[in-house]
Every structure is written in structure tokens, then in C-alpha cells.
Amino acid sequence: MSVFRPNKNTSGLWLSDIACCRMAGAQYTGIRDAVIGQVEIHEVCKAIVDTEEFQRLRFIAQCGFGKFVFPTANHTRFEHSLGVCHMAKLILDCLEKNLDDDVVVITKEDKLCVQIAALCHDLGHGPFSHFWEHFLKEKFDKTFIHEEMSEKLLDRIYENHEKVRNVFKKHNLGREELEIAKRMIRGVLPEDKTKNYLYEIVSNKISGVDVDKLEYLQRDSHQFGMNCFVAIDYLLSTAKIIKLPDGTTTIAYREKTTYNLLGMFLNRAEMHHRCYQHPVTLAIELMFSGALKQAADNDFGIDYKENGQVKRRKIDECHNHLNEYIKLTDDIFMNIYNSLSDSLHEARHILKRILHRNIYVLVLKENITKEMNFTDMNYNKLKTIVENSLLKELNNKYNGQYEFHCKIVVINMGGTSDNPLKNIHFYNKHNEITHQDNYLDARFYSKDSNFVSKVCFIFCDFGGTQKPSDDTIQAIKKQCREEFDKTFQRKSHVNSFISSTK
């Protein structure tokens, strides 16, 4: 979405201020946003924002450890959530404007449910966002899904805050509408097929086109200093509800937005390659994960009171106890670093290395290609192969002198199929439903196209001591390449790798 740049009128007031004044008489609050411009939040959503459960998002980085590499990428889940809520309102307005007769009736309650879901979809994120899910799985073998936690926290907000319940009641909302909003967060389609389109707005499990993705691409691109290739305002203006032969409703876009949508998927993949999965970011994630596990094993956790006594909840158990979970934020980094506990000495040392930029060294970055016959394997299987074969050989080779770590990254365009446009409906200027195969340029799609990439990263920990010579590092990179080629049964390309990584 293009940045809104208000003009001044003759009285010296910003037009956005005038809009805000007009909204004051209505039910919306105007908020200035550096990326989007004027954000409008309904009073139902405003009541949710003004709770400790939602305000917690101010202290959770949107892009995890990305800010350690890109200093301006220090935005949080808080502003992203406000932006998604606003964007949900925009697309609802466009859908209503473009609505054909006898398709559906969009009720006020429908709109509010979507905006609540948009606002609260990320309530459940743990420290450093997606890092937390990976940390619990890899270090404690516990499955944590932030959307499920978002639903639990939305329930908690409704149950614990009378102000929220009162404003819900004022707008004819209750427990039933709350359950609808929770289903929208998960993207679970309703039994009533005529309502399907509403469940595609926040979390689209059909096509992958939703306001969450559009908002974070716009905001993250801006904060990382990258270009956003999507004309979001134009795309949303063409959004239209159509009814399929079986009575199911879905959201379609004008066929001339094809390349705009393709740009969105390409933009997402590029952001992963260049920003989200930056090698330094991954190295810091690995180091913090190790430090946090060490701290957790030494009684680091969240304090709480029970029967008048202060007790401590282990961090890997907090997601089962909401009172403690809402205290988990990115602050755990500095809490460990500033701790005086002797038991956290090792964890503090690792965090000090991060702050002093004494981080793990990347010694291998390689795509796992189709020719290797491993592309059909999922993340867990690939990681097991790398750890049990490649890393084992490297550790044996250097006899514990250095420590090696791997990271397998799976990057797609964010769609729900190999062809990112396959499940999107389009319509032409005659209002006829069309199919993307009729006009998608063959340069971007063929039956042999691969829209998913799997990348293997190997990092070496030199122990935090003096960094080895370049010759030593190059020798390690060569050895990594040989072990990678052996593991994935491929002819060695050592020389080209070494020259490309100097």
C-alpha cells in the first residue's frame, strides 16, 4: 500500500487530523502510522488494544533477531497488528463497494469479527516471534502454535476485562462472535459456504493472499530498507466477492492484477532470502537458542505467587500458564545478560559474544536441489540427515576442536501450492470469472518450475577465542563442501564454492 502523505489545508491542519476529528463522532480512532499513514481502529478493537495482553506486543520484535543485522528492523508485533486490523477494514470497504446484487450481505457484525481477528491474530507470539516456536520444538520437543495461543489470549481478554465485554455488547457482539473471530485467526472455513470469503481475509489457507501477508510485506520491506513490489491499494480496490457453482463465496481480483499478486509472492521469497534468513540472523538465533536452553536448565524462568509463596515457572512450561506467559517478551535477553546468578554465567557469556559480534562463522550455504533427490523431504527429515551425517563427520574430523551447527531453511512464496497463482480467482472487465493459465506469462510458470527452495546453512563455533586465520577457515569450508557433497551424493564443486565465499 502506498504511503499516505496528507496535504495541508489553508487552516494549517493536516487532512489526517480532520479525518481523525470526523472519526471521533463515529466509532473509529485515528492513529498515525509511519508506514501506512492513517490507521483507523474501531472502538471494539480499541478496547482490546488497551489491555495488558495486547500491549505486551510492544515488546516482541516483528522480525525476531533481524534487528541485529538491519538496525531499523526494530518494529514490533504491536504496530503490525494495528496495520493488519486497518487493512482488514480497507478490504471490507472495497468488497462492499464492489459487491454485486444477490451475492451476499455483509453485516456490521461480520465486519467487526474480521477486524477483531485481524487485530488479535498475533497475540500469541512468544519472545522474538517465530523464534519461540522453533526453540520449544528443537530444545524441548514441545509443539507450540502461536495462533492457538492467540485464541487463548483473546478468550482471556474477553473474560478478564469488563470494558471489553461492555463494548462487545454495545455492538451486538458476544461469545458467538468471539468464536467466529477465533476461527478466522486459524483460517478454518465455516459450515455456511456463503461466509467463506470472510475467512480468507486474515489467514487465507486457500490462496495465501491475505491482509496479514500484505501488511508485513509492506512494513518489513520499509523497515529493512527494501522495495515492496506490491501496489496494495490498487490490489485491494479490485477485490470482489464471487459465488462459485457450489454456492461457496470467495474473493477474486481483476485479472490485470496478476503480476501484482505474483510480485507479492516473489517479494515474500526475496524477503526470506535477503532478510528473514540472513546468515548472521540465523547465527544469532542459534547462539541465543543455546544460551536460553542453558539458562532454562539452570532455573531461569518467570516468577509467580502461589499461596503467598514466590515460585518460578520454567520458561518451557509458561505456555500452559497464561499468567506467566504474558510476561514472556524479548526482555528475557537482557534479563539473562544482566542477571547476577552464577548459574547463568555460561548463558551470559554467549549473550556477551552476540553483543560483541563474536558470532558463529558461516562455513557452508548450499541449496538442496532437485537433482539431489532430497527435495521431497520435509524440514525434520533433512535436518536429521544433516546432523547424523554431515555434522557428525565434521565433528569427528576436528575432534571437538570446533563445534558445528546446522540450520535448514525452507523458503516458498507463501502460496498454498507449487504455482502461487493456482488457487486465486480472477475476473475480467466483463465480470467473467477467468483462470490464471489463460494469461500468466510462461516466463514465470511452467510445469517444471520450482517455487520452493531448501537451503542448508552450516556454522562453525570457534569457541569465542581469537578467530582462526583465513586459510584455516577456507580449509574448513572445503571440508564442509566435501562432506555436503558426500551426504547428498553430488559431485564436488569445492573450488567454485571457495572462490564464491572469499
Burial of 219 (0-12, 13-18, 19+ CB in 10 A): buried
State the pLDDT at residue 421.
84
- How many structural domains does the chain have? 2
Residue 336 in this model has a pLDDT that exceeds 80 = yes
Considering the domain boundaries, does residue 86 fall inside one?
yes
The domain spanning residue 96 has which CATH number?
Answer: 1.10.3210.10
Closest C-alpha among 168, 207, 198, 205 to residue 180: 198
Residue 19 in this model has a pLDDT that exceeds 60 = no
How far apart (Å, rounded) are the C-alpha atoms in residues 449 and 370? 11
Considering the domain boundaries, does residue 143 fall inside one?
yes
Q: How confident is the model at residue 391 (pLDDT cuts 50, 70, 90)?
A: confident
Which residue is catalytic, options 42, 75, 125, 146? 146
Residue 140 in this model has a pLDDT that exceeds 50 = yes
Whether 405 and 435 have beta carbons less than 8 Å apart is answered as: no
User: Residues 230-251: what's their mean pLDDT?
Assistant: 95
Known active-site residue 319 = no
Residue 404 in this model has a pLDDT that exceeds 60 = yes
User: Out of 23-32, 290-299, 492-501, which region has the weakest mean confidence (pLDDT)?
Assistant: 492-501
At 146-187, the pLDDT tens digits run: 999 999 999 999 999 999 999 999 999 999 999 999 999 999
Return the residue matching grid coordinates 490485470.
256
Whether 349 and 338 have beta carbons less than 8 Å apart is answered as: no
Rg (C-alpha) for the chain, rounded Å, is 25
How far apart (Å, rounded) are the C-alpha atoms in residues 80 and 58? 10
Considering the domain boundaries, does residue 373 fall inside one?
yes
At 439-468, the pLDDT tens digits run: 455 445 544 455 678 899 999 998 866 777
The domain spanning residue 414 has which CATH number?
Answer: 3.30.300
Residues 119, 234, single domain; the answer is: yes
Domain boundary among 259, 276, 293: 276
If you ran DSSP here, which 8-state letter would residue 43 be given? H
Considering the domain boundaries, does residue 442 fall inside one?
no
How far apart (Å, rounded) are the C-alpha atoms in residues 307 and 194? 51
Residues 395, 254, single domain; the answer is: no
Residues 190, 56, single domain; the answer is: yes
Residues 91, 208, single domain; the answer is: yes
User: Measured between alpha carbons, how far is residue 255 from residues 34, 240, 241, 423, 440 in Å?
Assistant: 31, 12, 14, 13, 10
Report the Cα 388 to chain-centroid distance in Å: 30
Domain boundary among 242, 276, 310: 276
Residue 474 in this model has a pLDDT that exceeds 50 = yes
β-pairing, 425-427 vs 249-254, is parallel
How far apart (Å, rounded) are the C-alpha atoms in residues 260 and 274? 20
Considering the domain boundaries, does residue 433 fall inside one?
no
Considering the domain boundaries, does residue 338 fall inside one?
no
Residues 251, 399, single domain; the answer is: no
E-strand spans in 240-334? 240-243, 249-254, 301-306, 309-314
At 179-236, the pLDDT tens digits run: 999 999 999 999 999 999 999 999 999 999 999 999 999 999 999 999 998 999 999 9
Q: How confident is the model at residue 417 (pLDDT cuts 50, 70, 90)?
A: low
User: Residues 299-304: what's their mean pLDDT?
Assistant: 95
How far apart (Å, rounded) are the C-alpha atoms in residues 159 and 167? 13
The CA-CA-CA angle for residues 170, 171, 172, to 5°, reads 95
At 54-105, the pLDDT tens digits run: 999 999 999 999 999 999 999 999 999 999 999 999 999 999 999 998 889 9
At 118-138, the pLDDT tens digits run: 999 999 999 999 999 999 999
State the pLDDT at residue 490.
66
Please name the amino acid found at residue 135: F
Return the residue matching grid coordinates 510445469.
447
Domain boundary among 249, 276, 303: 276
Considering the domain boundaries, does residue 36 fall inside one?
no
Provide the residue range defining the domain that includes 490.
360-419+450-502
Whether 70 and 225 have beta carbons less than 8 Å apart is answered as: yes
Considering the domain boundaries, does residue 222 fall inside one?
yes
